[in-house]
Amino acid sequence: MYNLNGRTAFLTGGSSGITLGIAEKYAKEGMNIVLLARNEDKLAAAKTIIEGHGAKCVAIPADVRDAEAMEGAFQIAASHFGEINVIVAGAAGNFLAMAKDLKPKGFKTVMDIDAGGVFNTYHAGFQHLARPGGCLIAISAPQATIPYPAQIHANAAKAAIDQIVRTLAVEWGPLGVRSLGISPGPIADTEGMARLAPTPKALEQAARAPVLKRLGTKDEVADLAAFLASDHASYITGTIIPCDGGLGLVGLAGLGG
């Protein structure tokens, strides 16, 4: 449907959640898949899922905070599949902590994983990226524009990611590379929701926040990621597209609804 057959995608944070959902969609579309994540057990399980869809898959254990490891990871990916067509920067970390209680180390940790990780991924991936034709997709979040309490670290990091998306659209657009973001709202069955809405009451409140009054699904985000990676989106760059049930329209007010 999206004509992605035979292309290669490199996904960070690809062993679980939204980004694994995207990897599965890409695998079903016939893409070669490179998964990078920290936890080797989760990575091995994810590789099995991807191969179950009939795709070739290389799984690389690494931390996106380690710039040198990211260089090595792209070399491994390129040795298997040649040039990379799509990079999905999905690795992220988050937890709830009010600003006055958050240690500077906690703030730095999330900035380093989220914003620093996206930079390290794209910086290392650049020389292996198809030019022209390459596509970058960063997983942002409503936190980039909505100042959620107890998430000063993620709010700041996701805002930084949005500017990375726009800056690379400007710098690499002339080379034929598109740079995009996806901002998923509350998505069911993800580690993010488990961390941010850990009780049934909190989950119900999260589901009521978007104007569509429900949680999204990983498939809904994956469909958007497939469209953005495809030639159907060939004139779209430098923008962060919400897949949030309209959460961004109501922001913090949605939490009261």
Single out the segment in contact with ligand COA by CB under 6 A; choices: 4-12, 95-103, 173-181, 197-205. 95-103
Least distance (Å) between residue 63 CB and ligand COA: 8
Output the smallest distance, CB 25 to ligand COA, in A: 19
Q: Does 103 bind ligand COA (CB under 6 A)?
A: yes
Decide: is 109 part of the binding site for ligand COA (CB under 6 A): yes
List residues bridging with 132 in a β-sheet: none
Task: Name the residue nearer to ligand COA (CB basis): 192 or 254.
Answer: 192
30 binds ligand COA (CB under 6 A): no
Our CA angle for 160, 84, 239, nearest 5°, is 35
- 3-state DSSP call for residue 52? helix
Segment near ligand COA (CB under 6 A); pick from 66-74, 100-108, 224-232, 243-251: 100-108
Do the beta carbons of residue 162 and residue 240 sit within 8 Å? Answer: yes
Residue 81 CB, nearest approach to ligand COA (Å): 27
| Binding span for ligand COA by CB under 6 A among 47-55, 104-112, 120-128, 226-234 | 104-112
Q: How many Å apart are CA 209 and CA 205, to the nearest integer? A: 6
Strand, coil or helix: 223: helix
Which of residues 45, 49, 76, 97 is near ligand COA by CB under 6 A?
A: 97
H/E/C letters for each residue in 169-211? HHHHHHHCCEEEEEEECCECCCHHHHHHCCCHHHHHHHHHCCC
Which residues are 32's β-sheet partners? 8
Between 92 and 215, name the residue whose CB sits nearer to ligand COA.
92
Structure tokens at 46: 């994810």
DSSP alpha helix (H) spans, 82-190: 104-111, 117-125, 152-172
Return all residues near 162 (Cβ < 8 A) that are at least 6 apart.
140, 144, 145, 181, 240
Q: Which residue is nearest to ligand COA (CB)?
A: 93
Structure token digits, residue 17: 């959640």
Q: Does 110 bind ligand COA (CB under 6 A)?
A: yes
Verify binding: residue 22, ligand COA, rule CB under 6 A.
no
Residue 95 binds ligand COA, judged by CB under 6 A? yes
Q: Which stretch binds ligand COA (CB under 6 A): 96-104, 142-150, 170-178, 201-209?
A: 96-104
Distance, in Å, from the CA atom of 171 to the CA atom of 151, rounded to the nearest integer, reads 30
* Closer of 18 and 169 to ligand COA (Cβ): 18
CA distance 229 to 88: 10
Binding mask 188-217 for ligand COA (x = CB under 6 A): ---xx--x----------------------
Q: Which is nearer to ligand COA, 39 or 234 (CB)?
A: 39
Residue ranges that bind ligand COA, judged by CB under 6 A = 92-95, 97, 102-103, 105-106, 109-110, 113, 191-192, 195
